[in-house]
Structure 1
Amino acid sequence: MSIKQNMIFYMGVALILLMIFTGNAAANGEALYNIILTQDTDTNEVGTSHTVTATLYYAGNNAGEDWGVTFEVYGFNPQTSGTYYTDGNGQASFTYTGNNAGVDTIVAVSNEFGTSNTLTKTWTPREEIPEFPTIALPVIAVIGIAFVLMRRRE
């Protein structure tokens, strides 16, 4: 074999080994390390809690446990979580309560895996049911005026 043929052969072997040890993600052009952030719903009433889950992937598979993740919230309810660690499925969850109406932006950050996709969370004002006096006083006043006007007619 010539030197050129040997180089091509060994480069092919090296590429095959690279695909075996890094999985199909690197071969498909996908990121080797990846964080996907998900949430159940994107709208809540103020004063309720909201949970987001970060899933860490390595070479297209769940990364496993004990990877550190920090969650950052920007907007009307800004905060930064402490470090949460992934479970056996490569997932870490963060729950927070929105005390202000408006829109929040949430990301997850890991030193090893980088920054996740961005989620938005909308907090709506809590619908309050009027108290009894708020409804009753105007109704009683209208009824009282009706009785007074009927008495004057007689």
Structure 2
Amino acid sequence: MPPMDSRYCVNHNSPLILYLHLFDPTHIPHAHYRYKTLFRDDAVSEPLTETLFPWDIRPSPPKVYSRGEFSLDQAVDAFDNNGWWSGEITGRLGPHHYYVYFRTTNEEIAYPSNKIKVHHEWVNGDWILSQREQPQPQPLQN
């Protein structure tokens, strides 16, 4: 089971459902956000809704297409449980599967390469490759 804190918790393409208190000086502006693919733990069919503040909202990260090849210790995101989860490559399993380690849960899970993408960080208003990205990738052996 991947970690319970999705790296891109507000980056899905779901619409913001409702803005509250936008012009009320006694309240901090915030929004209710309803996910398309993440669901409440206690209601499988009901989408998860969270309250977000303006500084939490950012655009989706860029779509980066890889050749399905990743390097040891490379920062990646793995798609599992209807969301993208931040981890790092720790090994390879055959030609098309990689082990991803999640620090938050101390778990290592194998994923097919089509469920893994290069990790990006939101820095000063721009998406950049994670600082954990290897400048000289080290190829993994099967």
Q: TM-score, normalised by structure 1?
A: 0.20
| More strand by percentage | 2
Q: TM-score, normalised by structure 2?
A: 0.21
Which of the two has higher C-alpha Rg?
Answer: 1
| More helix by percentage | 1
